[in-house]
Amino acid sequence: MEGKLLSTNKPLCDMIGYTSDELAAMTFAEVTHPEDAEIELELSGEPLEGKRTSYQVEKRHIHKNEDIVWIRLTVSVARDEQGNIEYLLGMIENTPEIRASQNLMQQQVALIEGSPV
């Protein structure tokens, strides 16, 4: 799915460095890291196919300055009064603290596993 962002807020713009107007002219694929694009494409199609009503994924976005920004994306289906899908509603959280914490925990586990008993 080559979806477009219908509406964005300032925190998202600040997080990935684009203005709302710039994001409105782009597809999801253009701000998603190429290595994460396939899974995002697969997941975003599932609600439209009726396979699920929401999903959550951690993935990378590409900042306008080309830095990598780790995000947690939570997507839910928004329906009209007749139950038809109107759009997908996404909430994006910046996750560098979570990624750093996970990396630290993995390093600590590796140290513990490598310790002599």
- Indicate whether 111 pLDDT > 70: no
* CATH class of the structural domain 10-114: alpha beta
pTM of the model: 0.73
Helices (H), 17-83: 20-24, 28-31, 34-48
- pLDDT higher for 25 or 109? 25
* Per-residue model confidence as pLDDT tens digits over 56-104: 998 999 999 999 999 999 999 999 999 999 988 889 888 866 555 555 5
Q: Where are the domains of the chain?
A: 10-114
φ/ψ bin of 83: left (φ > 0), alpha (ψ from -120 to 50), beta (otherwise): left
What's residue 4's pLDDT? 81
Average pLDDT over residues 4-10: 86
What's residue 54's pLDDT? 93
Average pLDDT over residues 9-24: 93
